[in-house]
């Protein structure tokens, strides 16, 4: 199994089922790691999660639950073959962190990839983000 220098085993980890890490995962993980509130980042097959809280089920997965009390987190679905990065879930109990997470993902995503939001229940947040970042497409 390949070793990846950016995986520190503490803040940035990967699931055991992940054998090879596409460079987009590294770019996204490193971009999100610049946000102090996101203390836990984990790479899974076809997705990445980052949060300020870990699950208590022994799996040590970042918790991303929309509207969760005190939570700051993002879950991205990543399709390397079609070059799509989808914002699956985003929550922030800390004012301004939602925008920081979006900006970090946009900055870390290469221009040849698409950024998408498939379901918008935010009440206007994604319209604002789309206006600031024209690369984001909301369906």
The phi, psi pair for 46, rounded to 5°, reads: 65, 15
Q: What contacts 134, CB < 8 A, 6 or more positions away? A: none
| Closest of 50, 95, 45, 96 to residue 74, by C-alpha | 50
pLDDT in tens, the chain (139 residues): 457 889 988 899 999 999 999 999 999 999 999 999 999 999 999 999 999 999 999 899 999 999 899 999 999 999 989 999 999 999 999 999 999 999 999 999 999 999 999 999 899 999 999 999 999 999 8
Q: What contacts 65, CB < 8 A, 6 or more positions away? A: 71, 73, 89, 91
Q: What is the pLDDT of residue 31?
A: 97
Q: What is the pLDDT of residue 2?
A: 56
Q: Are 79 and 24 in contact (CB under 8 A)?
A: no
Q: What is the pLDDT of residue 105?
A: 98
Tokens matching residue 121: 């229940």
| Closest of 119, 115, 68, 116 to residue 91, by C-alpha | 68
Q: What is the pLDDT of residue 1?
A: 43
Cα separation, 51 vs 38, whole angstroms: 5
Cα separation, 120 vs 123, whole angstroms: 8
């Amino acid at each position: 199994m390949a070793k990846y220098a950016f995986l520190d085993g503490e803040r940035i980890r990967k699931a055991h089922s992940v054998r090879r890490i596409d460079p987009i995962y590294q770019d996204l993980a490193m971009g999100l790691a610049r946000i102090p509130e996101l203390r836990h980042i984990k790479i899974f097959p076809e997705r990445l999660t980052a949060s300020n809280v870990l699950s208590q089920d022994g799996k040590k997965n970042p918790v991303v639950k929309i509207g969760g009390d005190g939570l700051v987190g993002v879950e991205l679905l990543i399709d390397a073959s079609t070059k799509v990065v989808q914002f699956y879930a985003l929550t922030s109990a800390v004012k301004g962190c939602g925008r920081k997470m979006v900006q970090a993902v946009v900055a870390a995503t290469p221009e040849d990839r698409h950024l998408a939001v498939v379901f918008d229940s935010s009440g206007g947040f994604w319209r604002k983000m789309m206006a600031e970042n024209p690369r984001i497409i909301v369906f």
